[in-house]
Amino acid sequence: MYQPEYIVELLGKHLDETLSKQETEELQHWIDAKPENQQLMNRLAHNDLLIADIRLYLDLWNDAETTDREQRILNKVAQQTMIQQPSSLSSQLRRWIPYAAALILVSVVALLYINRQTKSISENVITVKDILPGGNRATLTLEDGRTIDLNSRQSGIIVGNDITYLDGSSIVNSKDNAAETLVLKTPIGGNYKVVLPDGSQVWLNADSKLTYPSRFAATERVVKLEGEAYFDIQHQRSSGKDIPFKVISNGQTVNVLGTEFNISAYAEEAQTKTTLVNGAIEIVNLKSKHINKITPGQQAVLRGTETTINKVDVSKSTAWKYGQFSFDDKSFDQIMREMARWYNFKVQYEGGIPADQFIGNAFKTDKLGTVLRFLESSSIEYHVKLNQNDTYQLVIHHTGRKEAPLTN
C-alpha cells in the first residue's frame, strides 16, 4: 500500500513529466488498484474539473482569506488529518468523504500546478486548452450478461477459441464450442478494434456498438452495428460456395464477400452513409427493399426509403480511423457532432448554427483547444462551461457568416 505522501510526489512528477519508468509503473499500479483512484486521476488530468473540488475544500475554512485557506489545507495534509463531516457540507462534498484525505492531497498538487500555469479559477466558465482527447476505451459484454471494461492500454481484441487482446494476453477463456453473442461497445471519447472469428477486422469509432457471434455460422456471417465502424472483411468459401458477410445497421443491410468499407449509422444522424474503399458491396434499404450496388470510391447515402449514390473522396470518410478529423464538405453542425463524440461535450448554439464552411484535417490526438484554432479566423466565437455533473458544454456564438479554411 502506497503512502498518500508518495502518491502526491508521483502525481507532481507526472504533471511535470519527470517520472522514471519505475515510478510510472508504480503510479499506474495505484491507478488500477481502485476505481476511485482512476476517477481522481481523470480529474487531475482535467484540471478544470478539479477547480470545483478545490473551491469546496477552501470553503470549509471560509473565515479567512484565500491564501490563509490554502495554508490551512497544507497544514491539514501535513498533519494527515481526516476532514470531519459538518452538517453544512453540500451533498456533492459528502460523496467525496470516503476518500476525502486523498482528494485533498490531489487537490493540493493540482492547486500548485494550476498556480504554476497562472490559471485563473472561474465558477462556471473554463478554457478548452486542457480538455483531453479520447482514447482506447470499450466494454465487452458476454452472453451471460457480464460486462468487462477493456484495458485502455490495449487497442483491440481477438475473438478466437479464447478472447484475447491483440498482444495475446487473455481476457476470457472459452468453455465450449457453442456460439455466443458478444457486444463490443465504445463510449463517447473511445475507440477500439476487434478481430472477428473469421479474421475480419473492425475498427469502432466513438459511441458505437458492434454485436457479433463468438463463432460464425457455416452459411453466413452476420453482425449488427450502431454508430460508426470501418470494416476489413476476409473472403471465405465453404464447400465450394462463398460465405456472405452481412452488416445490419440503421435502416439498411450491407451484403459483402471480401472488401473494405466504412459505415456511419448513428441513430441521431438523419442519414446512414456507407463508403466503399475497395471490393464490391450491396446496400439493401430495409424500408423500400431497393438494392444498390456500389463500386470503390462511391458512397451510398440512405435516408428513409431513398438511397442515393455519390462519387466521393473516401479518405474524408475514413480519416477518423487514422486519427484525424476531416471537415471537408461537412456542415458546421456535423463537425461539432463528430468532435463532441470524441471530446465528450454538448453543443449549445447562440444565434443559430453557423453556415461557415471549412476545409482540411485536424488531429484527434490534440487537445480540444488546439483543434478549435481553426475557428479563430472565422466569425464564430465560443466558450466552454462546466456543468454540475462534470460534463462540458461548448457554447457557440455566431456573429456573422465568413468562410475560413482549416489550416491544421
Q: Are residues 313 and 299 in contact, defined by beta-carbon separation less than 8 angstroms?
A: no
**Predicted confidence (pLDDT) per residue in 12-43, tens digit:** 777 667 888 888 888 888 888 776 677 677 66
If one counts the domains in the chain, the total is 3
Q: Is there a domain that residue 278 lies in? A: yes
Residue 176's pLDDT is 58
Residue 20's pLDDT is 86
Final residue belonging to a domain, choices 285, 300, 318: 318
**Predicted confidence (pLDDT) per residue in 106-128, tens digit:** 555 555 554 544 333 344 446 67
Q: Same domain, yes or no, for 199 and 308?
A: yes
Q: What is the DSSP letter of 177?
A: S
Residue 344's CB: how many other CB atoms inside 10 A?
Answer: 20
Q: Same domain, yes or no, for 111 and 145?
A: no
Domain hosting residue 239, numbered range = 135-318
Q: Same domain, yes or no, for 145 and 270?
A: yes
Q: Is there a domain that residue 408 lies in? A: no
Buried b (16+ CB within 10 A) or exposed e, 349-385: eeeeebebbbeebbebebebebbbebbeebebebebb
Which of 70-79, 90-99, 115-124 shows the highest mean pLDDT?
Answer: 70-79
CA distances 275 to 7, 168, 385, Å, are 48, 32, 36
The better pLDDT of the pair 42, 295 is held by: 295
Final residue belonging to a domain, choices 74, 95, 121: 121
**Predicted confidence (pLDDT) per residue in 148-158, tens digit:** 999 999 999 99
What mean pLDDT do residues 298-312 have?
A: 96
Q: Same domain, yes or no, for 335 and 393?
A: yes
- Which CATH number characterizes residue 255's domain? 2.60.120.1440
Q: Is there a domain that residue 406 lies in? A: no
Q: Same domain, yes or no, for 314 and 338?
A: no
Q: Are residues 272 and 264 in contact, defined by beta-carbon separation less than 8 angstroms?
A: yes
By three-state DSSP, how is residue 64 classified? Answer: coil
Final residue belonging to a domain, choices 318, 343, 362: 318
Q: Same domain, yes or no, for 340 and 299?
A: no
Least confident of 7-21, 91-105, 232-246: 91-105
Residue 89's pLDDT is 40
